[in-house]
Amino acid sequence: MRVGVVTFPGSLDDVDAVRAVRLAGHEAQPLWHGDADLRGVDAVVLPGGFSYGDYLRAGAISRFAPVMTEVVAAAGRGMPVLGICNGFQILTESHLLPGALIRNHHRKFICRDQALVIENTATAWTSGYRTGEEVTVVLKNGEGAFAADEQTLDRLEGEGRVVARYVGNPNGSMRDIAGVTNERGNVVGLMPHPEHAVEEGYGPGVAGLGFFTSLLETVAS
């Protein structure tokens, strides 16, 4: 598959995401925030970082980048979209995913290995995992606490749209939520970084690779 990785001004993890995409067997296509053009890709990754310096709110300015108009339209047509960390923040600001990410309750930036439980394996990005599988990837954020009203949280849980939960809540995320999906299962937002856990010797193992290899199974099925 051809997987686009968007670079915004202030993106940090776009190169790691490109590397993860390639290691998973895909062709990586860099995309530029200022171009309203997805260059014929089959899926899009919005990487981590501090796009537009997190000015106003994390993800709030990126949402209006020309490329996002195309991403939102393609997501509506069913294209797989994965937002990691700042990418997740952009997806919530774009209203592609519910809720918001707010400052960690302890006010500290976290950077560490983090265990997650994959709860929904029906999404385009998690079909390669087993339900209930525990994976350890990297967590690094200052504004990573998932927040939504009780009704939204109940709906997400009731519809099985919690993709992953933290093992031990690191940042005050409501109901330990680390990642969620849209109704269709093609858009996934994830606060931790699977792209930093795709190679032995770099990071906490290779458990993150499944997010990128899942795409193949999604298309094959």
Partner 1 sequence: MARVVVDVMPKPEILDPQGKAVLGALPRLGFSGVADVRQGKRFELTVDGEITDEVLAEVDKMAETLLSNPVIEDYSVRVEVDA
Instruction: Tell me the chain's radius of gyration from C-alpha atoms.
Output: 15
Q: Is 106 in the site for partner 1 (CB under 8 A)?
A: yes
Contact between residue 207 and residue 201 where contact means Cβ atoms under 8 Å apart = no
Residue with Cβ nearer partner 1 (1 or 60) = 60
Q: Is 60 in the site for partner 1 (CB under 8 A)?
A: yes
Contact between residue 3 and residue 41 where contact means Cβ atoms under 8 Å apart = yes
Contact between residue 211 and residue 125 where contact means Cβ atoms under 8 Å apart = yes
Q: One of 33, 85, 93, 196 is an active-site residue; which one?
A: 85
**Residue 85 among the catalytic residues:** yes
Taking CB under 8 A as the criterion, which residues in 197-216 touch partner 1? none
Q: Which helix (H) or strand (E) holds 209?
A: helix 209-220
Q: Which of 15, 100, 117, 206 lies at the binding interface for partner 1 (CB under 8 A)? A: 100
Task: Match 């997650």 to its residue by tokens.
Answer: 116
Contact between residue 2 and residue 25 where contact means Cβ atoms under 8 Å apart = no
Q: Is 92 in the site for partner 1 (CB under 8 A)?
A: yes
Q: Is 127 in the site for partner 1 (CB under 8 A)?
A: no
Judged by DSSP in three states, 17 sits in helix
Residue with Cβ nearer partner 1 (2 or 103) = 103
Q: Which residues are catalytic?
A: 85, 193, 195
- Binding residues vs partner 1 (CB under 8 A): 56-57, 60, 64, 92-93, 98-100, 102-107, 145, 147-149, 172
